[in-house]
Structure 1
Amino acid sequence: MPDEIESLTAAPAGGVPNHPKWPALVVRSGAAPEDMGATFAANGWGGTWEWTVYDFHHYHPESHEVLGVSAGTATIALGGEDDRALEVTAGDVMILPAGFGHKRLAASEDFAVVGAYPPGQESPEIARADEGRVKEALGKIRAVPRPTCPLGRGIIEDRWTE
C-alpha cells in the first residue's frame, strides 16, 4: 500500500460515538480495485462483501471495518453530524475503527465498495446514529481490541497505539 495516508479523528456527534482513541485511516490508491477482496483476505480480514455504503449515519460498535472502493467515485461522510466529507475513488481504502460513523452522501452510478472485518468480527452490528445509545456504545467500542491482522506496512500498528 502507498504512503499517502490520512488520519481523521472525530468527537462524538449527532448520536455517533466515533472511536475515543483511534482515527479513521484513508489510504489513497491503497489496493488495485479488482483485487480488494483478495487483498483483505490475504491479510486475514474476513466476512467480505461487495455493495455500497449506506446513505444514513451508522457505525459498528463491536467491529472494525475496512472499505475498499472497487469501482466508481463517491462522497463519504465520516464522523457523524459534523461530518468530514471525503471524496473517494476506485483503489482508495478506508479503515474505520469500531464506532466510527460513516454515510454515503453522493456516488457515481457504478460506485461499489468491498468491506471486510478482522477475525471474530465478521458479522457486525449496524447501529444507526442515536444520542441515547452513545454511552452504551462507547463501552463496547473501548472493549474491541486492535486487529492482530495487519493491512500492510504497519498502517494500523503505527496509528492505532494502545
Structure 2
Amino acid sequence: MPPELLQLVPGRAVPNSPQPVRLYRAALRGHTPTQIEEHLAERGWTNSWRNGISPFHHYHSTAHEVLVMARGQARLTLGGEGGLEVQVGEGDVLLLPAGTGHRNDGSSADLLVIGAYAGGRAWDLCRPEETDVEAARERIGRVPGWGKEPV
C-alpha cells in the first residue's frame, strides 16, 4: 500500500525536512506491540520504545523516527506551530524524517505508540524554543537515509 505523502515547509523554529512525512494508514492494525517491534526491527527500525507522543512541539535532529499507533487514536500537529493537523488511529504508521516537528494535540486514554529509529540511531529531543535551529539543520544534514521503509 502506498503511503500518504505529507510535505511540510521548512520553518524558522522547526527545520522539517525536504523529504515528506509518510503516513501508512492501518498498515499494522491488529498487530500486538511485540509483533510491531519485531516487524520494525526486521526493516532496520530499532532502539524502540512504548509510550505516547509528547504534548509539545519537538523534533529529532539526529535520527529518522517511526511512530506506530498500536492502540487508540490521536490528533497531531506536524511541522511546528500552525502546521498540518492529522488524525491517526490504530495501525497507522508515521515515518518522520529527521527534523520533522510533531506534537500530540489530544489522544484517547488508551493510546499506545511504538516508536523506533532508522538504524537504531541515538535520538535527541529538540524543542523549538530551546534549540539553535541552524545547528540542528547541520546535524540533520548528517543523518544517513533510512534504508527500508517501515512498512
Question: Is the pair's TM-score, using the shorter chain for normalization, greater than 0.5?
Answer: yes
Deviation at 1:149, TM superposition (A): 3.6
1:136 maps onto 2:138 in alignment:
no
Unmatched 5+ residue regions in structure 1? 153-162
What does residue 10 of structure 1 align with?
8
Sequence identity percentage: 34
SS at match of 2:132: helix
Distance 1:11 1:18, change over 3 A: same
- Structure 1 Cα separation of the partners of residues 150 and 98 of structure 2: 16
- Structure 2 Cα separation of the partners of residues 136 and 108 of structure 1: 35
SS at match of 1:40: helix
Equivalent position amino acid for 1:126 in 2: L
Matches within 5 A, 1:37-116: 37-116=37-116
SS at match of 2:56: coil
The alignment of Structure 1 onto Structure 2 pairs a total of residues equal to: 148
Equivalent position amino acid for 1:6 in 2: E
Distance 1:38 1:12, change over 3 A: same
Matches within 5 A, 1:110-129: 110-121=110-121, 123-129=122-128
Equivalent position amino acid for 2:24 in 1: V
Unmatched 5+ residue regions in structure 2? none
Deviation at 1:139, TM superposition (A): 1.2
Distance 1:137 1:91, change over 3 A: same
Contact 2:44 2:120 in 1 (8 A): no
Equivalent position amino acid for 1:11 in 2: V
Output the TM-score relative to the length of structure 1: 0.85
1:29 maps onto 2:26 in alignment:
yes
What does residue 157 of structure 1 align with?
none
Contact 1:13 1:81 in 2 (8 A): no
Q: CA RMSD of the aligned region, Å?
A: 1.6
